[in-house]
């Protein structure tokens, strides 16, 4: 099924989402023939000061200044989105009022009716917290997007983490529109980190991709004391891949997700664009 509906996560504070993220998401939308919507969290600090705090530290004035800054950046971001994304590719502009902190759950509710959510991995923002909430709350794939080295993101060479698991199968299904447009697809199987599904090395994933007109090669990687996430990143980097696709593993414990090691590796630091699917 083609991807026609993409959501770009943006935030106004403590630093605004950089314009390169808008450009990169716009390039992705254009390559897929998709609409790009903006999901903007306008962060504001509520007035929680008391008379003494305001008297001694001018708390009300400080809060008002920061809220004004956040509003200015939010307005500028929406203007930049409209200016940089052609009208024919522009979807909705969703403004979410976030008191003090970004609310990934509120954004996840909007993401549930999108084909893909793009989360920029920006310095100065707790993007991993937002990404984690979207991965496990939205039910849709999430693309972690680091700053590009040079040109805007184009995904001609894609590496896919494959271990035969349910999460990996879901990731392949979610990534089919991107895989279909790629020049090369590499299936990476990491051994020595955990017990793999019996179907991991049987060529079933290659057969399935071939049914969709996608030719993929398979590589086996030794973990060599690395977790699967690190091994996949290292191999994808060595291959010069433009994108890494992998399943996001986690299980619920008292309604809080405990991340698998490979997923946590991705959220600890992104070296290349990564599509995660749970």
pLDDT in tens, 141-163: 999 999 887 655 789 999 999 99
Maximum Cα interatomic distance, the chain, rounded to a whole number of Å: 71
**CA distance linking residue 218 with residue 65, whole number of Å:** 55
Bond from prior residue into 14 cis (ω within 30 degrees of 0): yes
Mean pLDDT for all residues in the chain: 84
Query: Could you please report the per-residue DSSP string of 36-61?
Result: EEEEEEEEE------HHHHHHH-HHH
Phi, psi torsion values for 194, nearest 5 degrees: -155, 170
CATH number of the domain located at residue range(s) 5-145 in this protein? 3.40.50.620
Query: Can you tell me the mean pLDDT for 17-37?
Result: 95
End-to-end CA distance of the chain: 18
Conformation bin of residue 124: beta by default, left when phi > 0, alpha when psi is -120 to 50: left
Contact, 201 vs 168, CB < 8 A? no
* Percent of the chain whose pLDDT exceeds 70: 83
What is the reported pTM?
A: 0.86
pLDDT of residue 175 exceeding 60, the answer is yes
Residue 185 pLDDT grade (very low, low, confident, very high; cuts 50, 70, 90): very high
CATH domain 157-277 topology: Rossmann fold (3.40.50)
Here the tokens at position 194 are 């955990």
Cα 46 vs. chain centroid, distance in angstroms? 29
Phi, psi torsion values for 198, nearest 5 degrees: -60, -25
Closest CA relative to residue 205, chosen from 194, 220, 217: 217
How high is the pLDDT of residue 257? 41
Residue 59 pLDDT grade (very low, low, confident, very high; cuts 50, 70, 90): low
Q: Is 107 exposed, middle or buried (0-12, 13-18, 19+ CB in 10 A)?
A: buried
Lowest average pLDDT, out of 18-22, 83-87, 117-121, 270-274, goes to: 270-274
How high is the pLDDT of residue 258? 43
Contact, 123 vs 236, CB < 8 A? no
**CA distance linking residue 28 with residue 278, whole number of Å:** 21
Closest CA relative to residue 59, chosen from 67, 49, 44: 49
**CA distance linking residue 258 with residue 218, whole number of Å:** 30
Contact, 226 vs 193, CB < 8 A? yes
Q: What are the domain boundaries of the chain?
A: 5-145, 157-277
The reply to whether 157-277 shares the fold of 5-145 is yes
How high is the pLDDT of residue 123? 76
């Amino acid at each position: 099924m083609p991807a026609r509906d993409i959501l770009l996560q943006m935030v106004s504070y403590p630093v605004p989402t950089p314009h390169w993220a808008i450009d990169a998401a716009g390039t992705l939308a254009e390559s897929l023939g998709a609409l790009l919507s903006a999901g903007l969290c306008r962060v504001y600090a509520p007035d929680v000061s008391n008379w003494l705090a305001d008297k001694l530290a001018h708390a009300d004035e400080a809060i008002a200044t920061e809220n004004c800054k956040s509003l200015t950046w939010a307005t500028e971001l929406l203007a930049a989105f409209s200016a940089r994304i052609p009208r024919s590719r522009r979807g909705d502009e969703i403004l979410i009022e976030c008191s003090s902190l970004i609310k990934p759950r509120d954004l996840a509710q909007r993401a549930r009716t999108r084909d893909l959510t793009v989360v920029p991995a920006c310095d100065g923002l707790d993007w991993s917290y937002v990404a984690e909430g979207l991965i496990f709350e939205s039910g849709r794939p999430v693309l972690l997007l680091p700053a590009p080295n040079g040109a805007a993101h184009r995904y001609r060479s894609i590496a896919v983490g494959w271990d035969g698991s349910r999460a990996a199968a879901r990731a392949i299904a979610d990534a089919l529109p991107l895989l279909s447009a790629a020049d090369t697809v590499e299936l990476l199987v990491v051994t020595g980190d955990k017990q793999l599904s019996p179907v991991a090395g049987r060529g079933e994933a290659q057969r399935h991709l071939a049914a969709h007109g996608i030719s993929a090669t398979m590589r086996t990687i030794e973990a060599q004391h690395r977790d699967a996430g690190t091994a996949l990143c290292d191999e994808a980097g060595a291959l010069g891949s433009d994108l890494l696709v992998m399943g996001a593993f986690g299980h619920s414990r008292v309604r809080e997700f405990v991340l698998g090691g490979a997923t946590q590796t991705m959220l600890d630091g992104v070296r290349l664009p990564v599509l995660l699917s749970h």
